[in-house]
Structure formats: C-alpha cells, structure tokens
Amino acid sequence: MASLRVNNSFSILNTEPKRSLFSATTGRSRRSSSVRLTVVAETMSTDKLGIKVDKNPPESRLSQLGVRNWPKWSCPPSKFPWTYSDKETCYLLEGKVKVTPNGSNESVEIGAGDLVEFPKGMSCTWDVSVAVDKHYNFS
C-alpha cells in the first residue's frame, strides 16, 4: 500500500488499486487511472514557551483522560492576566486564544480542538479573540 505524508498533519493512503469503471454514456467499460484515497488525521504535538499543545487528539485519548467529564469554563472575547497555581490541562471546544507568558514577546495560539497543558506557576496574558468554551482539569 502506498502512503504519502502531506504537511506533517495528514497521511494519504492508497487503499484501492486501479479498476475498471462502467461509462453510463457509452455503455462500455474503461480503465481508470484514479485511486481511492483515505485521509487519516494525525495528532500534531508542540511544546512552545512551556505550553504543550496537541492539535486534533484522537477521541480515544480524550476518553482516556475523561475530558468530557471535566468541568467547563467559557468566556467572551477579552484580554486578561492569569497565573496557574497548579498544572492545567484543557480541551477547547470552541474559541481562539493567544497566550503570552510574562516576560516573553512570543505567543502561543490555541483554538477549538486543541488539548493544552499549562505548567504550574506560569503567569501569562490570555487574549481571547473568539469566545472560548473549554473543559479543564487542574492537577
């Protein structure tokens, strides 16, 4: 089976060989050079400025963590400072945020579908551009 990696975020797998197709207009079979492809999403994990972001984690990972049973938190577009007294793991259902750790000129962008870990003791600024709805867990 052939496989092609695209932008490190998807694998394209050749799952079916060439086969004959029937033409409705001519009533004759013809040989097709096309193949059937299946796109398989993969989790992309990054660790930037002490913030770990898993983009598109599989449902099995979310179930293993019990994410859907965690409390929820929401906020409208806003900008505010925050300090993590414990490690927080959260899963964004909706929204878009730039998180800038204190003392840094760089930000980490997170959004819907991201599983994110913030380390204990981190002080940062949250700049919410699209309203957030998330599950969260402190440990």
- DSSP-assigned states of every residue in 39-77: EEE--EEEEETTEEEEES--HHHHHHHTGGGS-EEEE-S
pLDDT bucket at 18, cuts 50 / 70 / 90? very low
Among 3.20.20.30, 3.40.50.2300, 3.40.630.30, 2.60.120.10, name the CATH number for the domain at 45-138: 2.60.120.10
| Residues 22-53: b if buried by 16+ CB within 10 A, e if exposed | eeeeeeeeeeeeeeeeeeeeeeeeeeeeebeb
Q: Kindly tell me if the per-residue pLDDT of 1 is higher than 50.
A: no
Which helix (DSSP H) or strand (DSSP E) does residue 24 occupy?
A: none
Q: Kindly tell me if the per-residue pLDDT of 22 is higher than 50.
A: no
Average pLDDT over residues 107-114: 98
Which residue reads 């409390």 in tokens? 71
Instruction: Give the start-to-end residue ranges of the domains of the chain.
Output: 45-138
pLDDT tens track for 43-75: 688 999 999 999 999 999 999 999 999 999 999
Q: Kindly tell me if the per-residue pLDDT of 23 is higher than 80.
A: no
Residue-averaged pLDDT of the chain: 82
Which pLDDT does position 40 carry in this prediction?
A: 52
